[in-house]
Amino acid sequence: MSGPDDRIPALLARFGHTGFRPGQEAAVTAALAGRDVLAVMPTGAGKSLCYQLPALASEGLTLVVSPLVALMDDQISSLQHVAPGEVAAVHGLRDPEENDYALEQAAEGKLRLLYLAPERLANARATSALKACKLERVVVDEAHCVSSWGHDFRPDYFRLGEAARRLGADRISAFTATATDQVTEDIARRLGLSEPEVIRTGFNRPNISLTAMTCQGRPDEDACLKQLLEAPQSRPAIIYAGTRKQTGEVAKMLKKHLGVRVEAYHAGLERKSRGEIQRRFMGGETEIVVATNAFGMGVDKADVRTVVHVAVPGSLEALYQEAGRGGRDGLPSRAVLLAEPRDRSLHVHFIKSATVEDDQLKSLVRLLREAADDRGLAKITARSAAGACGGGSERATAALGHLAFAGVLTPIPSPPGEVSVRLSGELDEAALARSRAAARDAEKLRWRRYNEVWGYVDGETCRRQAVLDHFGDKREAVSEGPCCDVCDKSLVPKGAPAGAAGTRAKGGPRRVVVSAEDVDGLEAALLATVRDATPTVGRTRLVEIMRGSQSKSLLSSGQDGLEHYGEYSHLSKDIVLTVVDDTITAGRLVSTGGSYPKLKLAA
């Protein structure tokens, strides 16, 4: 009988390929030799083949765990030509009967590849069917989600390594497009990979040009968008918006202006409509999709010519991953980031709203204890978890992560809207201190991401080089067309706002770096200023004092003599105002209300 390696050329041909792309051969060979694999390859590099080919060459079942449910169905339909009847998926967007049928097929040994949404690992029906299978390997796609250092850590990914071993998988492969060294090490540790073959291909996408510019508000941004997408060859395009509301607004504006089919996509739409929008985009009927980050997961559309962000993502990893959905066919494509000063204050707000206080940790644990059965298993709604943490789902997710780190609980994969954990320890003083330390680290990490992504936006050096440096890729930052707006001014849309790098005058806006310490000190300074200011001040005046405004009325009232006057001139108005508003929301400052509301200290 021929060895598996001899089968590679025939299998490659079944996939319709004539050779491997960088990194693929090493991943396939290691998997065929029965080794664990950890591959860090950029979007579009061809990660799927790295596990699909070995899966088809083996006799057992390869289980692919992925949070990207929308992607699964595309993968399966394209694999039906390669391996008819040997591939299926189990996830919440399919009918229960379809899911049951797929599990039956798997248990009967008829499948080579089964795609599974992570929360299914908590489902008894799914796990018992899987235990009956001859499990060859578990593949963890988007593996950065297992790492609390990753930009979209998911508690339901937390114990994936353990879940895989429980199912009897001896071998694990992990794939991600967005891992720094720290995340890579964390992935290997959390999944318990054993001497994995580590593959890192370059992060450069030479056919994608990179542009970033700061717009002064929505009209400015709309004007840029219209210009960027005017030419038919700039489409198909994906526009990433910050909110669901914005997807609708931008889609409407572009449709009116361009007269082509533009659709809005976000997780709040019915599952059926989401599927239809995606299908129309894949099929070329819809030229532009304006979406939240819920879209794209499944977009294996090779000919996307433009990806525009009209809101700055929370990390450079997220930005580059989404931008990387353009130009998978290797032809020229553009990634454009349109920032707004408002995005910056929103980020500050999100970072602050994920900060967890001791009493929130305590009330979350109390709630879980009340819900726990005698084995310590607790299931509560995500809404009540958020309630215990002062209302924010971001904060509840963060709190669960900190408590897990401190050994107080173990998250169990659970469907969206639900939180399941196993309580594993007391929240005593020592555990509280460990949780606090985890919370501090998490906050530092968020500020680091903030500084990285805004460093990119405000950067005045080659953007490609900045990205490669960020990912620790030492290779040369070469491009196949125009590189970036810093290197090539032709990339800046004509009439672009003054903030665009290509139009920025020397000595223009400088890079603003904000740290946790900055903002922490700011709140204390705000309180002292409100206490000391005469006459009393409102929100706007308070911001002016902190930023050292030279306004006539401020100077004539002598408020420039206040202790903290001008101390925060390096922060934007939006950031300072966000912290003022957060301090009011937290009840440490009180607004008197009325037509000219003033601020006072809480009683």
CA 429 to chain centre: 33
CB 251 within 8 A of CB 294: no
| Shortest distance (Å) from residue 115 CB to ligand ADP | 13
Classify burial at 81, counting beta carbons within 10 Å of its beta carbon; exposed 0-12, middle 13-18, buried 19 or more. Answer: exposed
Using CB under 6 A as the binding rule, whether residue 572 contacts ligand ADP is answered as no
> Of 54, 40, 21, 198, nearest to 138 (Cα)?
54
How many Å apart are CA 5 and CA 314, to the nearest integer? 42
Using CB under 6 A as the binding rule, whether residue 205 contacts ligand ADP is answered as no
| Shortest distance (Å) from residue 176 CB to ligand ADP | 10
CB 221 within 8 A of CB 342: no
CA 464 to chain centre: 20
Using CB under 6 A as the binding rule, whether residue 300 contacts ligand ADP is answered as yes
Q: Compare residues 104 and 197 and give the one whose CB is closer to ligand ADP.
A: 197
Query: Of 17, 165, 280, 379, which one interacts with ligand ADP (CB under 6 A)?
Result: 17
Using CB under 6 A as the binding rule, whether residue 320 contacts ligand ADP is answered as no
Using CB under 6 A as the binding rule, whether residue 24 contacts ligand ADP is answered as yes
CA 397 to chain centre: 14
Query: Of 4, 11, 20, 323, which one interacts with ligand ADP (CB under 6 A)?
Result: 20
DSSP secondary structure letter of residue 121:
G
Query: Of 37, 48, 340, 525, which one interacts with ligand ADP (CB under 6 A)?
Result: 48
Using CB under 6 A as the binding rule, whether residue 118 contacts ligand ADP is answered as no
Q: Compare residues 28 and 543 and give the one whose CB is closer to ligand ADP.
A: 28
CA angle 156, 161, 163 (to 5 degrees): 70
| Shortest distance (Å) from residue 273 CB to ligand ADP | 24
Instruction: Return the range that interacts with ligand ADP (CB under 6 A); candidates 38-46, 158-166, 207-215, 231-239.
Output: 38-46
| Shortest distance (Å) from residue 203 CB to ligand ADP | 12
Using CB under 6 A as the binding rule, whether residue 115 contacts ligand ADP is answered as no
Using CB under 6 A as the binding rule, whether residue 45 contacts ligand ADP is answered as yes
CB 313 within 8 A of CB 446: no
Instruction: Return the range that interacts with ligand ADP (CB under 6 A); candidates 47-55, 60-68, 93-101, 202-210.
Output: 47-55
Using CB under 6 A as the binding rule, whether residue 298 contacts ligand ADP is answered as no
Helix, strand, coil percentages, rounded to 5, for the chain: 45, 15, 40
Q: Compare residues 175 and 456 and give the one whose CB is closer to ligand ADP.
A: 175
DSSP secondary structure letter of residue 285:
S
Beta bridge partner(s), residue 176: 40
Q: Compare residues 51 and 447 and give the one whose CB is closer to ligand ADP.
A: 51
Residues near ligand ADP (CB under 6 A), total: 15
577 residue type, one letter:
L
Using CB under 6 A as the binding rule, whether residue 28 contacts ligand ADP is answered as no
| Shortest distance (Å) from residue 304 CB to ligand ADP | 12
> Of 120, 183, 118, 112, nearest to 147 (Cα)?
183
Q: Compare residues 100 and 300 and give the one whose CB is closer to ligand ADP.
A: 300
Instruction: Return the range that interacts with ligand ADP (CB under 6 A); candidates 42-50, 291-299, 335-343, 496-504.
Output: 42-50
Using CB under 6 A as the binding rule, whether residue 14 contacts ligand ADP is answered as no
CB 48 within 8 A of CB 113: no
Q: Which two tokens stand for residue 374?
A: 């005698």
268: left (phi over 0), alpha (psi -120 to 50) or beta: alpha
Q: Which residue has the tokens 């004007």?
A: 223
Q: Which two tokens stand for residue 502?
A: 């290509």
CB 142 within 8 A of CB 67: yes
| Shortest distance (Å) from residue 17 CB to ligand ADP | 4
Q: What angle separates helix 341-353 from helix 573-585, to the nearest 10 degrees?
A: 30
Q: Compare residues 21 and 362 and give the one whose CB is closer to ligand ADP.
A: 21
| Shortest distance (Å) from residue 515 CB to ligand ADP | 34
Q: Which two tokens stand for residue 531?
A: 């206490």
| Shortest distance (Å) from residue 531 CB to ligand ADP | 55
> Of 377, 375, 386, nearest to 417 (Cα)?
386
| Shortest distance (Å) from residue 500 CB to ligand ADP | 29
How would you list the strands of the sheet with 237-240, edge to edge? 208-214, 333-339, 306-309, 237-240, 288-291, 262-265
- Closest residue to ligand ADP, Cβ-based? 46
Q: Compare residues 69 and 126 and give the one whose CB is closer to ligand ADP.
A: 69
Beta bridge partner(s), residue 113: 62, 87
Instruction: Return the range that interacts with ligand ADP (CB under 6 A); candidates 17-25, 28-36, 247-255, 379-387.
Output: 17-25
Instruction: Return the range that interacts with ligand ADP (CB under 6 A); candidates 13-21, 59-67, 126-134, 193-201.
Output: 13-21
Using CB under 6 A as the binding rule, whether residue 46 contacts ligand ADP is answered as yes
Which residues are near ligand ADP by CB under 6 A?
17, 20-21, 24, 41, 43-49, 300, 302, 328
